[in-house]
Amino acid sequence: MKSRISPVELLILSTAIGLAATFAAPWVELRGTYAAWRIVEWHAFWRGDSAFQLASVVAANYHVPVEFATAEMQTMLRDVFALGSALGAWHGSALVALLVIGARMRWHAGASRARIALELVAIVAVNVAVLYTLAVLLALPSSLAPKVDFRSGADIHTDSLIWSGATILPLAPALSILSALGQLIALGNWTRTTADQRGRRNN
Q: Which residues contact 85 (CB under 8 A, 6 or more apart)?
A: 45, 46
Domain annotation covers residue 111: yes
- Average pLDDT of 37-60? 82
Domain annotation covers residue 44: yes
**pLDDT tens per residue across span 134-166:** 999 999 999 988 876 666 656 666 678 889 999
Domain annotation covers residue 105: yes
Domain annotation covers residue 173: yes
Based on the structure, what is the number of domains in the chain? 1
Domain annotation covers residue 200: no
pLDDT, residue 1, reads 44
Domain annotation covers residue 202: no
Q: Which domain holds residue 156?
A: 7-194
Q: What share of the chain is helix, strand, coil (3-state, %, to 5)?
A: 60, 15, 25
Q: Which residues contact 175 (CB under 8 A, 6 or more apart)?
A: 17, 18, 21, 25
What 8-state DSSP symbol labels residue 24? I
pLDDT at 3 over 70: no
Number of H helices, E strands in the chain: 4, 5
Q: With beta carbons less than 8 A apart as the criterion, state whether 33 and 44 touch.
A: no
Domain annotation covers residue 162: yes
pLDDT, residue 121, reads 94
Q: Which residues contact 112 (CB under 8 A, 6 or more apart)?
A: none
Dist. CA 110–CA 101, nearest whole Å: 15
pTM value is 0.84
- Average pLDDT of 177-189? 93
